[in-house]
Amino acid sequence: MLGQTIAAIATPPGVGGIGIIRISGGEALSVLQRVFRPAAAGDESVFTPRRLYLGRVQNAADESLDQALAVYMPAPHSYTGEDVAEIQCHGGYVVCREVLAAVLAAGAVPAEPGEFTARAFINGKMSLDQAEAVIDLIEAKSAEALKISERQLDGSLQRKIAALADQLLSLLAELELLIDYPDEATEPPAERLASELNAACDTVRRLMAQAREGRLYREGALTAIVGPANAGKSTLLNALLEEERSIVTPIPGTTRDTVEEYYVLGGLPLKLVDTAGIRDTEDPVEQAGIARSKRAMAMADLILVVLDAAAPLDAFWRGVIAENAARPLFLLLNKCDTARHETLAAELAVLAPGVQVLPISAKSGKGLHTLKEAVREMLLTSGDDEPLSGLINERQRAALLQAEEALSQAAAGLELCFDAEILSVDLQTAWQALAEISGQAVADDIIERVFSRFCLGK
């Protein structure tokens, strides 16, 4: 739809103080002039760029729809890099739809989801990874995730990728010169080549190491709260959320389905899943809840096993703990303020050596601060003090992996012998992978998939 002037409502549907209709394309100013009448006396066709005008929106029948504000931003200094106009009307559902209808009747066409940002990418206003940061910023689940997304939108990741790509291009230029003019060009020192390849590999690996944390900040760390029936799982969820989200009773089997809530722990969002107590039961409804509990545990980034400190550990839970001991796991001895837990703690230390055993009281709050600190430390394990460059997603991680493999192959080949042509192929593969991250060289279907995540108006 490039070449056409597009329009959409840029604010969420529903009732609000302000609704924004965004227009972008070569006819943006003409469309604005057809529907907007400034209140100030003067030439109604003149809109000084980036000045806000008060006036009224008119439809094709010259009927007034709403009092509004309007602004015109000519290319290239706009979000999309095209001529852009915005109308800020009152935020009712009907008024926004009517104003949009007037804009479309004046010559604009409906925008596709994400089309404004797609045009910004096509017009060089942002790289593809910066465009992805826009949706991550919109969907941020914590203030820290918001900061990281803004950092990426500001070009933090793009600058690192660009510097690395430039380094590879410089090496490629040396190799191509040697391939084309073998009698005239000088072979670069193998030690320097090896050093630069290893440094490039290290940079890529550091970025790849950030991908897991990026996913946790973007999606929330899936945290399964599991344990025997009536061990205090729902009480723990309510204590963490500081509200009664799950029903708590002395009756085993009260929680029959998973209950999911987001909880922000020191900037890191956790997707807490309170699961049904896993036990032998003939109740089909409870059995379905138990099956969901097992699925949540299998998919979890972190497992919190809540055990009654006063109850003996049965064979089933011994097996579950032993089977999952190598995963991110905490064994929580609940009700520690009313029961002695030393015997159970000693048994667990033998059953799952290396797994943290923490005495807590979900009811009184005892031990919860220690638990929170331990959870954050376990999940954020990159060991890199450098701030995250962005919320590196699966597409970007796959491209980084491809670049790392090509660079490792080049370094390994260089140790055997110097072959400019083989080295050149590996470096071109690595550069191509990096170019996919920024969008310099990327397939159309990938671009479409990226922007399909966006909503209308963005």
The response to whether 252 counts as a known ligand-binding position is yes
The response to whether 276 counts as a known ligand-binding position is yes
The response to whether 125 counts as a known ligand-binding position is yes
The response to whether 234 counts as a known ligand-binding position is yes
Cα four-point dihedral sign 80, 82, 87, 93: negative
DSSP state of 389: S
Strand partners of residue 67: 56
The response to whether 186 counts as a known ligand-binding position is no
Cα four-point dihedral sign 99, 105, 108, 109: positive
Q: Where are the alpha helices (DSSP H) in 325-417?
A: 342-351, 368-379, 394-416
DSSP state of 313: P
Q: How far apart, in whole angstroms, are the C-alpha atoms of residue 132 and residue 453?
A: 9
Among candidates 130, 112, 110, which has minimal Cα distance to 31? 110
The response to whether 123 counts as a known ligand-binding position is no
Q: How far apart, in whole angstroms, are the C-alpha atoms of residue 150 and residue 436?
A: 21
The response to whether 235 counts as a known ligand-binding position is yes
> CA dist 354 to 221, 261, 288, Å?
22, 29, 33
The response to whether 249 counts as a known ligand-binding position is yes
The response to whether 420 counts as a known ligand-binding position is no
The response to whether 274 counts as a known ligand-binding position is yes
The response to whether 251 counts as a known ligand-binding position is yes
Contacts with 25 (C-beta within 8 Å, 6 or more apart), sequence order? 3, 4, 5, 6, 82, 83, 108
The response to whether 117 counts as a known ligand-binding position is no
The helix (run of H) or strand (run of E) holding residue 98 is helix 93-105
The response to whether 160 counts as a known ligand-binding position is no
The response to whether 255 counts as a known ligand-binding position is yes
The response to whether 446 counts as a known ligand-binding position is no
Binding residues: 22, 86, 125, 230-235, 249-255, 274-277, 458
List residues forming the annotated binding site for (6S)-5-formyl-5,6,7,8-tetrahydrofolate.
Answer: 22, 86, 125, 458
Q: Residues forming the annotated binding site for Mg(2+)?
A: 234, 255
Annotated binding site for GTP: 230-235, 249-255, 274-277
Provide the annotated binding site for K(+): 230, 249, 251, 254
